[in-house]
Every structure is written in C-alpha cells, then in structure tokens.
Amino acid sequence: MIHIVFNAIEVELIQKVIDLDESLSGEVLQIRDDFAVGPLQGLDTEEGWQARLEWWRNLSQGSPYSPGLVGSFDDRETVKEIKAKLEATADEEVWIWMGQNQHDVTGYFWLMPQLKDFQGRIMIIYLNNLPFINEKGQLFYPSWLHEIQPKEFLKAKKLSRPITLSEFEVDPDEWKKIADENAGVRILEGGKKIAGKPESFYDNEIIKNLTPEWQKAWRVLSNTLHRMKIKTGDIFIMWRMRHLISEGKIDVTGDVNKGWKDFDVRLSGAKQAETSLPEAATI
C-alpha cells in the first residue's frame, strides 16, 4: 500500500495513523507542489515545467527557503516511483488522501491522469463535508487532513473507494480546462469544483492586516495566514505583499530585497484616507 498526501505535515500524520492500524501499513509519499497557484500550461513538457520552476524561483527570493527549496524536488520523479512500484507488484494499491481544500484537490487533478493505467488499484479518500471530533470532543468540519486527530482516521479509512473509470475519463478533462485557463489563483467552490481567480485574489487579506502603524512584514504575513479563511502558502502571500508595495498601496521601511525580517510595513497614506470614516456632522 502506498499512501499519497499533499502536505508535509500529513506525512507524519499518516505514519501515526499506520501506528494505530497495521492494516494500513505502507509507504507515505507527498506531492509537494502547490498547483492552486501559478502557471500550469504545458506541465507535460519540459519547457512548461521549467517555466513553473522559474516562477517559483522568482517568488521565493528573500524567503527563508531560498535558494534551496525550488528545484530540490521533482513531483514527476515521485510519480515515476509510484508507477514503478505498481508495475512491479500486481496487488499494490495507492491510497490518495485528500482534504476539502484547493491545494489537495488541484494536486489530485494533476496526479490522477498519470495513474489511469492502474484503474481499480488507485483508491481515493476524500474527506469532503464530513464531521469529525476534535481534541475538545467537539464536532467540526475539517478542511485539511492535519486538523483531524490520528485516531479519527480509523473511521475515515472506511471511506476508501476506487477512483472510477468514469472519473479517469472526466477528471483529466477538468485538469486540462484548469491548466488552459491558467488563472493566477485557484479556489475550491465545493466538491471538486475549482474556480480560477486573479493573482490579486488574496490582496485584500493582506490589506486587512495592515494598520497605520509600522509592523514587521513577517508579522503581517503571519497574521494574514492565520486569519484568512481560504488558505494559501506564505511564499505567495509575501510575493503579493511586495507587489502591493510596488503599487504604492503599502508603505515600507527597510530593504524588501533582503529577507522577510528586514523590512517593516504599514497601510499607505492613500489607503488610510480611503478606510478612515468622516467625523459625524453637527447640526
């Protein structure tokens, strides 16, 4: 059994689940790219793949992950490894674990057409609109696998089912549609429906966490990531923050070309004027 997840924290999570249930024993692999943002056209060509890598390099400049992260992994090699294991062992199965978020769903869309030759051996566990119990004993609806306690996955495994032949026919067309649209941002609108949005989609989330007072850029980043309902990664949000600085919508002091901790930000004077309310008139 090969388990596939789409977030690093969930590799360890599924390993904990395996410790609780040996029937799930197997290797846990991660598809690491975030296909919910950035260019998708031509990813089945070397030129298209390299263009995406270059896009990530641009975004990652000055980040804590630069320059080592981009190019340090290749999800195509992970797929080759999976296919080799399936070809080598006739009863090998793949279990794709997916939460109700655009990161997991776009990762699934990219992955599954490449596994169509193994229909019947590719299982999906999509935790979509399902209630779970949190650590406080309260009922909640998780968007991400890592929000779920390991012991709760013992119930979730019962939802495992083969990806149908129909899905192997329809979902690759959906992926092609998403890639051809090539929107800057993609969000999940329910089920497996992905909607394209402009690169500026998260800009208002950043603006909401600015004040007229100076703040460390990394603190605004952290607050934005924590408070936003539709999540994305820190690299993308910081890239958009720099874009807003270049547009004059955010004031800055320090060097934005260095690390994330090397500059402070505040709401620009123009934006402060837009958001301030006039005093009540006296009669």
- Residue-wise pLDDT for 53-65, tens only, equals 999 999 998 888 8
Residue 278: band (very low, low, confident or very high) from pLDDT cuts 50, 70, 90: very low
Do 223 and 119 fall into the same domain?
Answer: no
Given this model, what pLDDT does residue 178 score? 97
Closest CA to 142 of 158, 123, 126: 126
Alpha-carbon span 261 to 219, nearest angstrom: 9
* Domain membership flag for residue 195: no
Do 248 and 132 fall into the same domain?
Answer: no
pLDDT exceeds cutoff 90 at 71: no
Alpha-carbon span 237 to 70, nearest angstrom: 17
Given this model, what pLDDT does residue 120 score? 95
**What are the tens digits of pLDDT across the range 221-241?**
999 999 999 999 999 999 999
Mean pLDDT of the chain: 92
Given this model, what pLDDT does residue 279 score? 46
Do 123 and 81 fall into the same domain?
Answer: yes
The answer to whether the beta carbons of residues 113 and 35 sit under 8 Å apart is no
Residue 154 structure tokens: 């013992």
Could you tell me the residue range of the domain that residue 269 belongs to? 200-275
* Domain membership flag for residue 59: yes
Neighbours of 80 (CB within 10 A): 12
Do 95 and 212 fall into the same domain?
Answer: no
Alpha-carbon span 92 to 95, nearest angstrom: 10
* Domain membership flag for residue 280: no
Q: What is the CATH number of the domain that holds 81?
A: 3.40.1360.10
Q: Looking at residues 43-72, what average pLDDT do you find?
A: 88
- Exposure of 185 by Cβ count < 10 A (0-12 exposed, 13-18 middle, 19+ buried)? buried
Given this model, what pLDDT does residue 272 score? 60
Given this model, what pLDDT does residue 65 score? 85
**What are the tens digits of pLDDT across the range 179-200?**
999 999 999 998 999 999 999 9
Query: Cα separations (Å) of 110 from 24, 69, 114, 176, 202?
Result: 24, 21, 8, 9, 23
H-state helical runs in 182-268: 203-208, 217-227, 234-246
Residue 253: band (very low, low, confident or very high) from pLDDT cuts 50, 70, 90: very high
